[in-house]
Structure 1
């Protein structure tokens, strides 16, 4: 009996993670896999030939700057929440949401610029890939803006503060992931268009 007791006393505690955070990380990994598959398919299809050469719209540089700045405002929101600076938290979340919406508007104008250059979703696969990559990212960014708005509403209800950071941490993680994903896609398109 003493041997069994000694064995259980030495057992390590399992690593614990909030189930919602774990689900978020699983979702992020699945999104990474989707975009890895799409960018791999892009490279393989481009190597086959019959690839349309086109100039990327200049507005993509602006939207890349917007998403980069939004990561700083999101960090500002996170820091404000940790310090219980609730007015700054609300302001930073509003600013980040505006940047997210501005990014989406910029993406729309980049599609308008592509149409003006005769790059369409149908026709040459080069255009199809560009629309799919940017459109799929935009769908995920829409979900990020919705998440931001949910966190903003929670902050007005005083549900986000230094003692309740779980939702805020998840929102920050997802937003930074979306920003990093866009920068990867933009660099990929710059190098491979």
Structure 2
């Protein structure tokens, strides 16, 4: 766990530098005239972006702790990863598609391309549903094979990691639905477009975290570790 201290310090430094760049030290309430009006106009979107970044930093720390526990526990002799359900490959592709579709929809909304925005928002929603249902299918597949969380520590970590990511995904999906509905009717709204951009950032975060978790639960990191040890020794 000694390595987690520098990692958390790195996260805190990045968050502080970003908040400073965003003007956290400024005092817009003492400004007057056009400057104050400008701050009021950008207040909502700026606060939303800051809140999202803080939330992502906390979520990143949470997943880092779970991954650290994963690496420590895998050194024990009773560790045995469950077979990777094939549906996880489809789920990964679905999440990549949904993340890309949401980014394209956001870019189209900024350019005022209403039809393109709507089409890719629908594509993002469908791909997201495929991912969510696929994760449930993977859980059912492991349970049907008798690979429950109580059978092996590696099984428990599979359900823990995918479950934690799934909860973050469901929360993001609910927020995306809340943003998508009004956006489909008022794409030209600057606030709606900004909220769509925040959803895109969160979706990219979910994708990166899932790719890392997928490498863990599929045993890819074990193979990398073996290769590194052979190269070093």
Interval of TM-score (by shorter of Structure 1 and Structure 2): 0.7 to 0.9
User: How big is the shift at 1:187?
Assistant: 1.4
User: Mean Cα displacement is larger for which, 177-186 or 87-96?
Assistant: 87-96
Say whether the 8 Å CA contact 2:172–2:203 is kept in structure 1.
yes
User: How big is the shift at 1:31?
Assistant: 0.8
Matched, 1:189 2:196: no
Gaps of 5+ in 1: 1-12
Partner of 2:23: 16
Matched, 1:153 2:153: no
User: How big is the shift at 1:68?
Assistant: 0.8
Is the alpha carbon distance of 1:116 and 1:192 closer, same or farther for their aligned partners in structure 2, counting shifts above 3 Å? farther
Q: State the superposition RMSD in angstroms.
A: 1.9
TM-score by length of 2: 0.72
Matched positions, count:
180
Gaps of 5+ in 2: 1-19, 25-45, 223-233
Partner of 2:165: 137
Distance 1:120 1:183 in 2: 23
- Residue from 82, 86, 91 that aligns with 2:110: 82
TM-score by length of 1: 0.86
SS in 1 for 2:121: helix
Show CA shifts across 1:41-64 (max 9, x none).
011111122113421111111100
Partner of 1:113: 141
Partner of 1:163: 190
Show CA shifts across 1:11-39 (max 9, x none).
xx974371111110011011111111101
